[in-house]
Amino acid sequence: MRFNAKDLALLARCPSGCFDKEGKLKICSVVGDEKLIEPRERWCRLKGNLLFLMKNKSSDASEVVILERCWVVEFRSKTGVSIVLKFQSGEPDLYLEAASKPDCESWAVALGEANSEGLRNKIQHLRRLVMEIKEERSSDEARQFLPTSQLDSLGEPQFTSIQRIANEPKLEFSLACKDLVTATRDRKLNTFIQVSVVHPAEHILTRYSSTEIVEGTKDPLFLTGVTFPPEYPIYEETKIKLTVYDVKDKSQDTVRTSVLPDHKEPRADVGRSFLGCATFRVVDLVKSKEQQLTLTLRTSDGGKTVGTIEVNLVKMGELEEGETDHITADTQDQKCALVRECTATEGLSGKDNLPSLNAVLRNPVCKLYRFPTSDNKWMRIREQMAETTLSFHVPKELINLHIKEDMRRNQELKDLGELAPHWDNMRKSVIAHCDQMLSMYQDTLAELGKHTGSSFKSSCSKGEKTLEFIPINLHLQRMHVHSPRLKDALYDVITVGAPAAHFQGFKNGGLRKLLSKFEAERRNTGYQCIYYSPENTAKAKEVLSNINHLQPLISSHADLLLSSASQRSPDSLKNSLKMLSEKTELFVHAFKDQLVRSALLALYTARPGCVLKKPAVHRNSAEEGGDVQHQDHPSQIKRQDSIPHHSEYDEEEWDRVWANVAKSLNCLIAMVDRLLEKDDISNIKEGENEPSAADSKVLHTGGDWYEQLYPLVITLKDCMGEVVTRAKQSMAFVLLQELACGLPQCLMLTLRRDIVFSQALAGLVCGFIIKLHTGLHDQGFLQQLHTVGLLVQYEGLLSTYSEEAGMLEDMAVGISDLQKVMFKVIEAKSEDFLPIITGRREHYIIEVQLPAKMFELLPQEIKEGKLLRMYPVLFNVGINEQQTLAERFGDTTLQENINQENLELLKEYYKLFTEKMPPDCLPHFQEQNDLKGLLESLHQNIQAKKRKNVEIMWLAATICRKLNGVRFTCCKSAKDRTSMSVTLEQCSILRDEHQLHKDFFIRALDCMRSRQTQGALNESDDPETGCLTDNKPTSRHFYPVALLLVSSHLLVVWLILSLALLLAKYQ
């Protein structure tokens, strides 16, 4: 082989950027019988297959090694590890030693790729790939030369589908490697497999998933498998590529396969190196006799074998009965990981694959784990997380109801009639503020109508005004456990960010503090208006709601009565009269309240020109239901604790007005009875003989029922109209006082309460629907649902320090307001299965729609429309470092009070449950502890006031599950603390209820919490949204709180130093 020395010398002096690799190496050769000469330090430069050896970086090349027909091996000595270049020509071996072990490995890879033999193998491998692609595209190229008519007749290329059971994954397989080769013998591999798919129609390589990292073995057994959901476009012709990587530093590597372009391999500088790859067709795996493939792993050039990889077809139900002893020894140093992770569009499970549930849930992410039990059996755990469309549907429905309610209230205020100047100015001011608030609701609803994209609100958006009604990160977390010897079990937890008004902030606290402060100011501060208690205000809203609901019903039943009279139908007339009587009695009963009487008097005194002729006679405010004082001049009106009695006002007039309704109804009933009686007489006489002239006259007199009933119906409607007018005006006057006493704080508090309630209600509706679908075949649960109600337990993880204390106050009020929500199950009449919300503030009814087949499974009481009650309870335990500060130097009274109050509510529900339900309703596999004992233990833990007592959370969750309740877990954003709590709860359930092997508890917990298994995100990214977060310490001072929490003394020192720094800064 000829070489030009000048050209080689010129090439060796090229700039550093022209070389593939360069650096210092110690060079030594063999002399005689395996004797090494003294190593010489040389500056080495690699260009193509030429290795230049130089005395120093600036000198000329003293020697050139041609990497032709040679191979790279490792050589171990007492001093270290070297690279050995062996030549087929018989030339002496060349030993190269780098300064460090990683540098030595990188040189070994570079020299191996530079070898001409390796380049030749790589070219051959690429040629084979090109030929395979040409063969697959040959049919497409032939189609280009066919006539158009023949081309149309061929249609689209047809692919062979994989036949599997409906709603089951199309393809599942597990992976394992054997005899993996390393560059150095003492190198322990940390390997994972990346799975890519080549679609036959597109010929594009798409990265699909990856396994977990198995550490410290050359024969890794991956507990992570690959699953293709039913809707995934995979066929027998599809090719799957398996690429094995070695992770050098796991602490600095998170398998970010999805963030890299599909056509590029991960770079070596991200902490991993390429070992080998293999490709197979799906048909080869599916139709293999053993349903197993053993593939050879080859390097990128296709020449060198680096091990084998086993692909085993997996069918659901396998391995459950198998023993685990044969893999236990192999996995002692391996962390358990998920067997499946995929994003699917199907329902959460085969049983739940129903249109009604699919209308609520979106984008489920499925994972499958296999863990050993204490008796060396396998149990399968399917973990699923799904978004819900209710995150936006429920708030939009609520805002729409708020708008209608506020518009109706504003109109009622305008219909109060003429008022004195003082009251009229007050009304104008209230209406102006209400119109501004109404416009805000309308703008929010319009913005939500424009929303597209994800069906949940991420934590990055919690401060956006347009999304303040939307709950944060509302998801369903479901764990389906299949044990070898136990019945399958489902465990559902709804995870959501704490319902709170983040946009409005927490500078002045949350709702609990703000409402208490506002009510105290209304009581203790003089206002130029009348004070009505919150109970009386709520009663006024209820009366107005009853009026708006009952008046149209009474009118419609009265019209049906006249219609039956015109048709002379006795049976229809009786039924119409019965319905009219029932609704009218409810209508009359609604006004038998002292509040209406006192409000009418207050409204009378507010009319213009009204002069009191007698001094005010004070009455008991508890009897009157309100307070007012009227003086000669409106501007001198001051608040008092009683209603004045006006000498010219006849208090008995109201009694006569609403009593006229009852009298009109009685007259109507008497007339109907008389008409029916005469009709019976006429029928009897017609059956006997021809009627006489006198009898005919009597029959003719009672012949036209419509003409005789019409005046009475009109009288009833007139009397009812007068009652409605007066009652509406009086109750609207009460609402005017409520709004006028606290403008604009009253409206802002209403807005804040609406925001928090909207977030809480969206989660509650989601939890109820999921629980209803899960318990459709559980008759005990259905009986409990309509007899007692549904327990809803919220687990709060908020601290009582700084802003989170305000969030906790908002959350406590929002969850308490859920007690006023009732559910009703109806049969769906269309394909739209989303829930329907009706009602008003403080009284909502959620109508859940079910398909006809599912609706038939319900008890008769629920099918008849019985309202189902909710019993929400909240238990909070702060667990972060801020809670440590609150416990050491702050106040935890808020948390203690909330836990104590909700413990009483839980005891009330348990008492009601034991009184109305038989004891055999509880799930049999959870009968380990007595519920009464659990409640007593919960009571003791709450009274103990122990710091960060997480036992409260575990006891409350256990009681909830035993009482067939719905579980919620909440923190600030439903991310870190929530995920830690949920995964701990899941593993604890597996250990206590399903015999998880004790040695695998921590491994199972690590597996469920692994960021790697939850997707390929950058470490600085938001797990839910991918938006960037600041990589800054949480503390602004020099000492991290996490370190100082080790000792309370260090914490005190840190606080003193921080205070000193602040004082020095501002001086």
Residue 446's pLDDT is 95
Q: What is the pLDDT of residue 661?
A: 84
Give strand pairing partners of 873: 793
Q: Read off the pLDDT band of 761 (50, 70, 90).
A: very high
Q: How confident is the model at residue 758, as a pLDDT?
A: 97
- pLDDT value of residue 588: 79
Give the separation between CA 564 and CA 810, rounded to whole angstroms: 54
Give the pLDDT score at 615.
Answer: 37
CA–CA separation, 849 vs 856, rounded Å? 12
Confidence of residue 255 (pLDDT cuts 50, 70, 90): very low
What letter represents residue 446's amino acid? Answer: A
Is residue 832 pLDDT above 90, yes or no? Answer: no
Residue 505 falls in which region: left (phi positive, over 0), alpha (psi -120 to 50) or beta = left
Residue 296 is predicted with a pLDDT of 92
**pLDDT the model gives residue 846:** 96
Torsion of CA 859, 862, 864, 867, to 10 degrees: 160
Give the other-Cβ count within 10 Å of 588's Cβ. 17
Q: Maximum distance among all alpha carbons in the chain?
A: 151
How far apart are alpha carbons 493 and 431 in whole angstroms?
44
Task: Report the DSSP beta bridge partners of residue 226.
Answer: 173
Q: What is the DSSP string of 354-386?
A: -HHHHTTEEEEEEEEEEEEBTTS-EEEEEEEEE
pLDDT for 566-591, tens place per residue? 888 888 888 888 888 888 888 877 77
Contact 226, 194 (CB under 8 A): no
The pLDDT assigned to 330 comes to 39
Confidence at residue 135, expressed as pLDDT on a 0 to 100 scale: 53
pLDDT tens by residue, 860-881: 999 999 999 999 999 999 998 8
Quick one: pLDDT band at residue 698, thresholds 50, 70, 90?
A: very low
Backbone angles phi, psi at 269, to 5 degrees: -80, 0
The residues annotated as belonging to the active site are 971
> Using CA of residue 58, residue 59, residue 64, residue 70, what is the dihedral sign?
negative
Q: CB 697: neighbour CB atoms within 10 A? A: 10
pLDDT tens for 531-563 read 888 888 888 888 888 888 888 888 888 888 888
Q: Which of 118-127, 261-270, 840-849, 994-1003 has the highest mean pLDDT?
A: 840-849
Q: What is the mean pLDDT of residues 1020-1030?
A: 36
Taking each helix axis as running N to C, give the angle between helix 951-962 and helix 931-944, from 0 to 180 degrees, rounded to the nearest 10: 150
Q: Which residue matches tokens 């008022």? A: 419
* Residue 43 to residue 515: CA distance in whole angstroms: 78
pTM: 0.72
Peptide bond into 634 cis (omega under 30): no
Average pLDDT, rounded, for the chain: 78
Strands 489-497 and 966-971: parallel
Single-letter amino acid, residue 812: A
Residue 146: pLDDT band by 50, 70, 90 thresholds? very low
The token duo for 252 is 């600095």
| pLDDT classification of 1023: cutoffs 50, 70, 90 | very low
In percent, how much of the chain has pLDDT > 90? 30
How many other C-beta atoms lie within 10 A of the C-beta of residue 1063?
9
Q: How many CA atoms lie within 13 A of 510 on its CB side?
A: 24
3-class DSSP state of 707: helix
> Cα separation of 232 and 228, whole Å?
6
Report how far residue 989's alpha carbon sits from residue 981's, in angstroms, rounded to the nearest whole number.
Answer: 12
pLDDT of residue 313: 84
